[in-house]
Structure 1
Amino acid sequence: MDAPARRNALSAGLVGELADAFTRCAEDADVRAVVLSHSGGTFCAGADLKEPPNPYSFVALLRQIVEHPKPVVARVTGHARAGGLGLLGACDIVVAASGADFAFTEVRIGVAPAVISMPLLPRMSPRAAARHYLTGETFGAAEALSDGLVTDVADDVDAALAPILDALRKGSPQGLAESKKLLTARVLETFDQYAEDLVQRSASLFATAEAREGMAAFLERRDAAWVR
């Protein structure tokens, strides 16, 4: 993701570009695995509140990553927020820098991490998810590791990625694809069962007066009206 001035926020355009890139990687026989990385100090700031993606297109992107026939590895060296954590949940392996940090900020703007719960809740510790969803606190890479959000934490992310990517290169395309199906079956069940309900719930939340106040407060860099 290469929109550092916008903190790699998930605009309609970026979601479409990511979907196209993942399609190309799926069709390229020379690609054995996909690395999802970023430029700038933010992996992804979540939804672009000025140019938000269609929620169905974002759900489709998350599912595309989960169902991708190649392993998808996230490389995180900065901040990850809200919908950006949904991308991490959809990836198979997540390697984060020791200085990376994370937050589910939805609760602070009057909405909930509805859609991203599909790839995340099957992977995260339930108690950890409860704390992070409800408080919106920023937490570090070590905590993300213990919570099940990331796979590995390292001071040198690229050095940590090297043996992982080398190992993936040694796997057969069929073996990787079939092994991934075993790992993602439970995650895909959540998409089959809850996708429509969660899209509708998210849309209804964003349409409320409370969410409009929360988004305005965020963009204006002030406390929302409900903050005590």
Structure 2
Amino acid sequence: MTEQPTGGTTTDARTLVRYEVADGAARLTLDSQHNRNAISTALVEQLHAALDRAAGEDAARVVVLGHAGGTFCAGADLSEASTAGAETGPEEQAAERTRVFLGLLRAIVAHPKPVIAAVDGHVRAGGMGLVAACDLALAGPASTFALTEVRLGLAAAMISVPLAARVRSRDLTRALLTGEKFDAAHARSIGLLTEAVEDLDAAVGELVAAFRPCSPQGLRENKALLAGPVLAELDARGDELAGITARLFGTPEVAEGMTAFLERRPPSWAARSE
């Protein structure tokens, strides 16, 4: 089936999320390769529209969230964050972006159909939250993962909720506090992934086929049971977590971390001690 742009209003005329229905799945492909599929305002809007469209797609039993290029998602679009309008200030802008991202995480967790993350590339920061929000996650051999917020002076605030629902406590602590990179095998061992696979397309196809005997109503109701605790936590703590991000965005360390990232240099605190 021919890939089509998603519907809905967007602040970016480009198609950043491609939509296709094939073999019983609505396939949503992140295709914002100019910024490594970073979470921009336009990408969030288009992904929301694609998820809404998939919810009403009779020909699709499941949703597959994949990506074009070598990165699944690089996290927040820091260039967008650094050039946000000054009329409301960095803290207010950060809080609003966090609330928008909360809405996206909720849309994935609460989607009436199972959502499968199909990854064969790099996943960083907020991208880890997208993977954790999906019901199932498969990753191929090119995949790497890291929670890099700590290296920018930030906290993985909103995504900590779906991550805590998937990843073992000690392993999540290490990932959050070190920002270390790890591979798909490790991601599987700590609970972030359903499977680490050699042939991603074949593995996704097999998993999609497993849903064909399942009742749409049965899938919807069972998924709601599983999603309930995560949604309740997101709703209960959403304002608190948005406040953490807003507070940190106004600090000198985050300014230095973001500047260093955009200038492709180590931040000042990363210098070796003499």
Q: TM-score, normalised by structure 2?
A: 0.81
Q: Which runs of 5+ in 2 are unaligned?
A: 1-29, 82-95
Asked if the contact 2:137/2:195 (under 8 Å) is kept, the reply is yes
The aligned amino acid for 1:78 is G
The aligned amino acid for 2:168 is S
State the match for 1:59 in structure 2.
102
Asked if the contact 1:33/1:169 (under 8 Å) is kept, the reply is no
What is the DSSP-based 3-state SS (H/G/I as helix, E as strand, rest coil) of the residue aligned with 2:123? strand
- How much does 1:28 deviate? 2.2
State the match for 2:115 in structure 1.
72
Greater radius of gyration (CA):
2
State the match for 2:211 in structure 1.
168
Q: Which runs of 5+ in 1 are unaligned?
A: none
State the match for 1:19 in structure 2.
48
1:97-116 equivalences in 2 (<5 Å): 97-116=140-159
Greater shift in the superposed pair: 53-62 or 1-10: 53-62
State the match for 1:49 in structure 2.
78
State the match for 1:196 in structure 2.
239
Percent of residue pairs identical: 50
- How much does 1:118 deviate? 1.5
State the match for 1:139 in structure 2.
182
- How much does 1:217 deviate? 0.4
Tell me, yes or no, if structure 1 residue 40 matches structure 2 residue 83.
Answer: no
- How much does 1:31 deviate? 2.1
Asked if the contact 2:129/2:162 (under 8 Å) is kept, the reply is yes
What is the DSSP-based 3-state SS (H/G/I as helix, E as strand, rest coil) of the residue aligned with 1:226? helix
In the alignment, the residues of structure 2 paired with residue 35 and residue 122 of structure 1 have an alpha-carbon distance, to the nearest angstrom, of 20
State the match for 1:30 in structure 2.
59
- Deviations along 1:89-142, one digit per CA (max 9) or x if unpaired, are 110000000231000000000001001112111111000000000000100101
Asked if the contact 1:43/1:84 (under 8 Å) is kept, the reply is yes
Following TM superposition, where does structure 1 have runs of at least 4 consecutive aligned residues deviating by more than 4 angstroms?
A: none
In the alignment, the residues of structure 1 paired with residue 260 and residue 61 of structure 2 have an alpha-carbon distance, to the nearest angstrom, of 44
State the match for 1:152 in structure 2.
195
What is the DSSP-based 3-state SS (H/G/I as helix, E as strand, rest coil) of the residue aligned with 2:218? helix
Asked if the contact 2:79/2:262 (under 8 Å) is kept, the reply is no
The aligned amino acid for 2:239 is E
What is the DSSP-based 3-state SS (H/G/I as helix, E as strand, rest coil) of the residue aligned with 2:116? strand
- How much does 1:5 deviate? 2.1
Q: Could you say what the CA RMSD is over the residues aligned between the two structures, in angstroms?
A: 1.1
What is the DSSP-based 3-state SS (H/G/I as helix, E as strand, rest coil) of the residue aligned with 1:122? helix
State the match for 1:9 in structure 2.
38
Asked if the contact 1:25/1:34 (under 8 Å) is kept, the reply is yes
Greater shift in the superposed pair: 153-162 or 39-48: 153-162
